Amino acid sequence: MCLSFAGGQFLQWVAVFYAIGHALTPLTVGMEVFEFAPDNSQWNSQAKLTGTIEEATSQLTLCYRVKIYRYLPSQYYVNLMEYTIPEALACCEIRSLWTGSGPLMVLKNQFIGQSDIQVKLMRWYHHCFTFDYTDMSFEMILDGATIDQGHFNLSESTLQTQGVLMVGSAVSMDCNKPGQGSCRGLFSGQIADFNLWSRKLSQAEIQAFTNCQSEGFGDLVNWNTAQWINNNVNRFPLNLKEQLCKEKEDSFMVFPELREFIASFRFCRSLGAKMAAPFNIDQHKDMINSTRRFFADKTCDRISLGWTDEYSEGTFININDYLLEQKTTPLPKEMKEVWKFGEPNGGRLESCAELTDHDEWNDMPCSGDSKSCTSCYFKKRPLLKLRGLCRDTNFDQQYIITTNYINGKPVIKGYFRTVISWSRGIDGTHQEGRWELTSLINNASKAVLQSKSNTMYPIGRQVWTIENDVCSAGETVDKNLTLTVCEEGSYTCDSGECIDLTLRCENNQNCEDGSDEIQCTILELPDGYRTSSPPPPAILSEPVKIDLNIDIISFSEIDVNKMKISIDFYLSMTWFDPRLTFHNLREGFALNPLSLEEMKSLWFPELSFVNTAGNEISLIDDSTETYVFRNGSNYFNSLAENHETKKFYGRENPLFAYRKYTINFSCNFELQDYPFDVQNCSMDFQLRVATRQRAILMLDQVEYLGEANLLEYKVQETTVERDHPCGRQNLSSCNKIWITLKRRVGNQLLNTYLPTGSLLMTIYLSHYFKIDHYDTRIMVGLTGMLVIASLFVSTSASLPRTSYFKMIDIWMIFCFLLPFFEVILHTIVEYWTDDECYQNKRQLTDFKRKDFTFDGKVAVGASRRYRSCWQKMKNLGPQWCIDVFARVFVPLVILVFNIFYWGAALKHGGIEV
Residue 622: strand, helix, or coil: coil
- For residue range 237-295, list pLDDT tens digits in order: 887 777 777 766 788 999 999 999 999 999 999 999 999 999 999 999 999 999 999 99
CA gap 647, 634 in Å, rounded? 5
Average pLDDT over residues 551-578: 93
Contact (CB, 8 A) for 158 and 57: yes
Architecture (CATH level 2) of domain 251-378: Roll (3.10)
Give the whole-angstrom CA distance, residue 829 versus residue 878: 8
Average pLDDT over residues 388-414: 90
Lowest average pLDDT, out of 95-99, 457-461, 633-637, goes to: 95-99
How many Å apart are CA 274 and CA 267, to the nearest integer? 9
Q: What are phi and psi of 883, to 5 degrees?
A: -65, -40
Beta bridge partners of 255: 374
**439-447 LR contacts (CB < 8 Å, sep 24+):** 439/394, 439/395, 440/39, 440/40, 440/41, 441/40, 441/73, 441/394, 441/417, 442/394, 442/468, 444/468, 445/394, 445/395, 445/469, 447/395, 447/481
Backbone angles phi, psi at 711, to 5 degrees: -65, -45
Q: Is the predicted pLDDT of residue 180 greater than 50, yes or no?
A: no
pLDDT at 199 over 60: yes
When pLDDT is averaged across residues 124-152 and rounded to a whole number, the result is: 90
Q: What is the structure's pLDDT at 736?
A: 92
Amino acid code (one letter) for 412: I
pLDDT of 500: 93
Per-residue pLDDT at 842 exceeds 60: no
31-174+183-238 CATH: 2.60.120.200
What pLDDT, on a 0 to 100 scale, did the predictor assign at position 7?
A: 39
CA 176, distance to chain mean position in Å, is 51
Mean pLDDT of the chain: 83
Please list, in sequence order, all residues whose beta carbon lies within 8 angstroms of the beta carbon of residue 452, skipping any fewer than 6 positions away: none
Q: Count CA within 13 A, CB hemisphere, residue 435.
A: 25
Q: Return the CATH number of the domain spanning residue range 745-829+879-912.
A: 1.20.58.390
Look at the chain and count its residues: 913
Lowest mean pLDDT among 254-258, 302-306, 674-678, 851-855: 851-855
> Rounded to whole angstroms, how far apart are CA atoms 144 and 911?
90
Instruction: For residues 28-47, give the mean pLDDT.
Output: 75
Amino acid of residue 689: V
Rounded distance, CA 681 to CA 741, Å? 8
| pLDDT score of 95 | 85
Look at strands 544-559 and 695-704 and give their pairing: parallel
Give the amino acid at 411. Answer: V
Are the folds of 31-174+183-238 and 745-829+879-912 the same? Answer: no
Rounded distance between C-alpha atoms, residue 427 and residue 155, angstroms: 68
| Domain residue extents for the chain | 31-174+183-238, 251-378, 383-509, 544-743, 745-829+879-912
Question: How many other CB atoms are found less than 10 A from the CB of residue 861?
Answer: 14
Q: How much of the chain is in helix, strand and coil states, percent to nearest 5?
A: 25, 35, 40
Give yes or no for residue 771 having a pLDDT over 80. Answer: no
Mean pLDDT value across residues 771-793: 83
pLDDT at 29: 57
For residues 741 and 770, the model is more confident at 741
The 3-class SS string of 229-276 reads: EEECEEEEEEEHHHHHCCCCCCEEEEEEEEECHHHHHHHHHHCCCEEC
**Largest Cα–Cα distance of the chain, in whole Å?**
179
Q: What are phi and psi of 211, to 5 degrees?
A: -95, 10
The DSSP H or E segment spanning 401 is strand 398-406
Q: How far is CA 900 from the centre of its chain?
A: 66
836: left (phi over 0), alpha (psi -120 to 50) or beta: alpha
When mean pLDDT is compared across 188-192, 299-303, 712-716, 794-798, the lowest value belongs to 794-798
What percent of the chain clears pLDDT 70, i.e. is strictly above it?
Answer: 85
**CB–CB of 32/227 below 8 Å?**
no
Q: Quote the CA–CA distance of 893 and 603 in Å, as a whole number.
A: 69
Helix (H) or strand (E) holding 573: strand 564-575
What pLDDT band is residue 15 in, cutting at 50, 70 and 90?
Answer: very low
CATH superfamily name and code, 544-743: Neurotransmitter-gated ion-channel ligand-binding domain (2.70.170.10)
* Cα Rg of the chain (Å, integer): 51
DSSP secondary structure string, 721-744?
A: ETT---SSS--S-EEEEEEEEEEB
Distance CA 376, CA 199 (A): 47
> Could you tell me the end-to-end alpha-carbon distance of the chain, in angstroms, rounded to an integer?
104
Instruction: Give me the helix-helix angle, 754-765 and 878-907, nearest 10°.
Output: 160
